[in-house]
Structure 1
């Protein structure tokens, strides 16, 4: 018996509805899978965490080249964060690593309002990092500056004479791998190193002069390698303002049209577990508890010495250490 025309129309309408809901269900499933995939990645969680907020970035310790950190700052450029507060507590590190970090922060600043807060120390490479910002805030007793570079190398010549060891070598030219630490440094090798240091120092000075708007007289005054307190640094134009994170946020509100009620949320750069920092700390604490403080201090000092040795292997240093002649 032929179907009534109304029944046929109803069936066609139902088929269209079913097709629509099937397509909608597939679209929702795909969106859910993509959302879960994004949130499963550190980058996705970071972007969600700083959405509608001011991102807080921490730069601490010795600075060296770090592609993971650069990539993280690149993700922050594209994140929904309204502004960035960079906290610095660093004595510096390699000039190459400091330049890399400076360039990454300059790119970030081109996308988002950015201000630097010096928590305790921004010296040498740490100060190179700080001047990426248009506004630097520091506490009154913070230390900033140490504008200068150095190239350090051990020389074991006298020791080797004592133990009766001589290193022989065949090299393509007199300055290849010079100085090597196993023979007295020649005048030519010392002159070559001096040229490297002076060229990098000129780059550092030029960067400070440009970014901080200094004249030659003021630059000469601040670029002799010393550090200055925050109180001194204001008058010397090394920083812009005394204060803390609240001061920095107030500047962003007043000068970069950032909303005053935005929360501040941490943005992690490169969480590292490969260097076993946690295990070293735990071992040090345990040894202290057992009354073996001397051994605990040896672990801590070995960690610092190893880090400085690794920095030296990376080339020229922009590093400040109390008691060092830099």
Structure 2
């Protein structure tokens, strides 16, 4: 005999918020939250992104997890004040994207920076003795200039990561790779410009995105609540009164 009551989560919108720089901690928290969405059988996920970007690998892992989750759950992304670089990469994991007209987004590209303080070290009489297993083991060392072969290696690394980013945007947004490359030069643009370029589907607020998410799975936007999935607090902090923490 079937259970007469539906699981509460089946009538709710799961909500996950990604804020700040994307790094290992972000990846761990979001991947755990995505597991919760799947385990509790939420029908749809509202992904709120307010991030300037972050590390390539962490952004790619979150994106891949979202794509996998889409086999079971509808996903709508909402871009907040800023959703750039890695924030865009993660957003590509959603089926639908909503941005405010003034959202700062874009910055599609990859960057690697190193510092060279060789002249400063010379002035204060500091030098380093380096013993290494290969010619490129100390690539990007701060006490010397890059060699031409090192520049070539690093440029190839950047170009490969960039191509992965471009292809991800093209595949997700159903755009030609050359079209994506025409605006994927590191520039930032507004949500309105992103809409014109095909990077986002609609202009609107997070509330608009929530209503769209509800409609996608046949829920009443006026009655459907969103449930924000947060990282569990340590047991001690849950037991102690809030004013003691």
Contact 1:57/1:269 (CA < 8 Å) preserved in 2? Answer: no
Residue matched to 1:10: none
Match status 1:266 vs 2:228: yes
SS in 1 for 2:198: coil
Task: Give the TM-score normalised by structure 1.
Answer: 0.65
Gaps of 5+ in 1: 1-47, 273-326
In 2, Cα distance between equivalents of 1:117 and 1:95 = 21
- Give, in angstroms, the shift of residue 50 of structure 1: 4.7
Residue matched to 2:182: 221
* Aligned residue runs from structure 1 range 204-243, under 5 A: 204-243=165-204
Higher Cα radius of gyration: 1
Match status 1:112 vs 2:85: no
Residue matched to 1:54: 13
Among 8, 14, 38, the alignment partner of 1:77 is 38
Residue matched to 2:59: 98
In 2, Cα distance between equivalents of 1:198 and 1:251 = 37
Note closer, same or farther for the CA distance 1:237–1:62 as it changes in structure 2 (3 Å cut).
Answer: same
In 1, Cα distance between equivalents of 2:144 and 2:135 = 13
Note closer, same or farther for the CA distance 1:147–1:271 as it changes in structure 2 (3 Å cut).
Answer: farther
Contact 1:115/1:135 (CA < 8 Å) preserved in 2? Answer: yes
Superposed CA RMSD in Å reads: 2.0
* Aligned residue runs from structure 1 range 77-156, under 5 A: 77-156=38-117
- Which one is further off, 72-81 or 115-124? 72-81
- Give, in angstroms, the shift of residue 158 of structure 1: 1.0
- Give, in angstroms, the shift of residue 257 of structure 1: 2.8
- Give, in angstroms, the shift of residue 233 of structure 1: 0.9
Contact 2:214/2:224 (CA < 8 Å) preserved in 1? Answer: no
SS in 1 for 2:80: strand
Q: Greater helix percent: which structure? A: 1
- Give, in angstroms, the shift of residue 90 of structure 1: 0.2
> C-alpha offsets along residues 114-143 of structure 1, whole Å, 9 cap, x if unaligned?
100011111000000111001100001001
Gaps of 5+ in 2: 1-6, 235-245
